């Protein structure tokens, strides 16, 4: 900070902090963008900050069956191994056991299933402020969103330098659209099979828009669906000779060279 001989500026800053709180007045140096690594190097390389941008909203867009829901859930599972996370399941889309099947730690994950949408936004905001590092919001579409509730959650995400993800959907409300830091558009390239049964998905992930850098970069990923070889909810290794589309147990997401 430049010299302030009289101390007037320092006293004014302290007074504003006491009156309005630190979330209102912050040094510009505190807005440096950092990324939360997903553990999938090919995906992290698409985003200039090297992972899901902290303090921003990341949208995994795509119609059902294209892999957006599965990818966002698999990434949340990875993040839950090192950080507390929260899922807001607005439309009852989630089987919580799938988080574990994707390698996640259920003890580090809270699931919110609100009767009212506003309750879900408020619960997520409270958990982010309490220390959750990542929030995944799941719904079929995002056309109608409570503006004030969404703004309050995203303000908490920015204040706590956490990560927020939208899983799925192709239409988004104006309130959320303006807050998206990066949109990762998901498109299915084909199915992975095991013993002639569908066991996973080959997909293309493309940066459709970004406030962090130019759009257009892409990578190919392969996701293993949960419980393909499940016995009492535990993944077992694939049988020798299984189709090459399957991934080993415990490896839910793998990059594919283009």
| Of 25 and 109, more confident | 109
Q: Is 113 within a domain? A: yes
Question: Which residue range is the domain that position 145 belongs to?
Answer: 29-256
Q: Are 58 and 164 in contact (CB under 8 A)?
A: yes
| Of 106 and 4, more confident | 106
Q: Are 218 and 207 in contact (CB under 8 A)?
A: yes
- DSSP letters along 81-100, please? TTS-EEEEETTS---THHHH
Mean pLDDT, the chain, rounded, equals 82
State the pairing for strand pair 253-256/52-53: unpaired
d(CA 207, CA 8): 46
pLDDT of residue 6: 65
Report the candidate in 206, 211, 188, 187 with the shortest Cα–Cα distance to residue 198: 188
d(CA 25, CA 67): 40
| Tokens (6 digits) for 62 | 């795509």
- For the cut 90, the answer to whether the pLDDT of residue 230 exceeds it is no
Q: Is 223 within a domain? A: yes
Please state, in angstroms and as integers, the Cα–Cα distance from residue 189 to each residue in 21, 66, 86, 152, following that order: 49, 8, 30, 37
Please give the model's pTM, rounded to 2 decimal places: 0.78
Most confident of 5-14, 24-33, 77-86, 98-107: 77-86
Q: Is 96 within a domain? A: yes
State the pairing for strand pair 163-167/134-138: parallel
Q: With bands split at pLDDT 50, 70 and 90, how would you rate the model's confidence at 199?
A: confident
Q: Is 16 within a domain? A: no
Report the candidate in 173, 154, 174, 155 with the shortest Cα–Cα distance to residue 164: 154
d(CA 147, CA 125): 14
- For the cut 50, the answer to whether the pLDDT of residue 123 exceeds it is yes
d(CA 226, CA 26): 43
- For the cut 80, the answer to whether the pLDDT of residue 242 exceeds it is no
Minimum mean pLDDT range among 83-87, 106-110, 212-216? 212-216
Mean pLDDT of 225-243: 39
Per-residue pLDDT tens for 54-107? 999 999 999 998 999 999 999 999 999 999 999 999 999 998 888 888 889 999
- For the cut 60, the answer to whether the pLDDT of residue 239 exceeds it is no
Mean pLDDT of 191-219: 90
Q: Is 244 within a domain? A: yes
Instruction: Write out the H or E segment, with its range, that includes residue 256.
Output: strand 253-256
Q: Is 10 within a domain? A: no
Q: Is 12 within a domain? A: no
Mean pLDDT of 234-258: 41
- For the cut 90, the answer to whether the pLDDT of residue 1 exceeds it is no
pLDDT of residue 173: 86
- For the cut 90, the answer to whether the pLDDT of residue 164 exceeds it is yes
CATH code of the domain in which 161 resides: 3.40.50.300
Is the sign of the CA dihedral 20, 26, 31, 34 positive or negative?
A: negative
Q: Are 188 and 66 in contact (CB under 8 A)?
A: yes
Looking at the structure of the chain, the number of domains it has is 1
């Amino acid at each position: 900070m430049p010299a302030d001989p009289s101390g007037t500026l320092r006293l004014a800053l302290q007074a504003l902090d006491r009156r309005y709180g630190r979330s209102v007045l912050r040094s510009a140096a505190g807005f440096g963008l950092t990324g939360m690594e997903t553990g999938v190097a090919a995906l992290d390389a698409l985003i200039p900050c090297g992972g899901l941008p902290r303090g921003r909203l990341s949208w995994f867009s795509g119609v059902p069956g294209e892999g957006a829901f599965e990818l966002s859930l698999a990434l949340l599972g990875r993040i839950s191994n090192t950080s507390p996370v929260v899922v807001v399941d607005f439309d009852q889309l989630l089987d919580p056991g799938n988080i574990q099947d994707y390698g996640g730690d259920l003890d580090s994950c809270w699931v919110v299933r609100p009767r009212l949408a506003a309750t879900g936004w408020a619960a997520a905001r409270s958990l982010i402020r309490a220390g959750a590092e990542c929030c995944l919001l799941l719904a079929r579409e995002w056309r109608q969103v409570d503006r004030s509730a969404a703004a309050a959650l995203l303000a908490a995400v920015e204040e706590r330098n956490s990560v927020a993800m939208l899983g799925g959907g192709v239409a988004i409300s104006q309130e959320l659209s303006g807050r998206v830091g990066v949109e990762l558009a998901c498109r299915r390239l084909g199915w992975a099979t095991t013993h002639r049964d569908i066991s996973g998905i080959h997909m293309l992930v493309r940066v459709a828009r970004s406030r962090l850098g130019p759009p257009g970069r892409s990578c190919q990923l392969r996701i293993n669906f949960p419980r393909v070889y499940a016995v009492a909810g535990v993944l077992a290794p694939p049988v020798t000779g299984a189709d090459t589309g399957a991934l080993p147990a415990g490896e839910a997401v793998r990059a594919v060279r283009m």
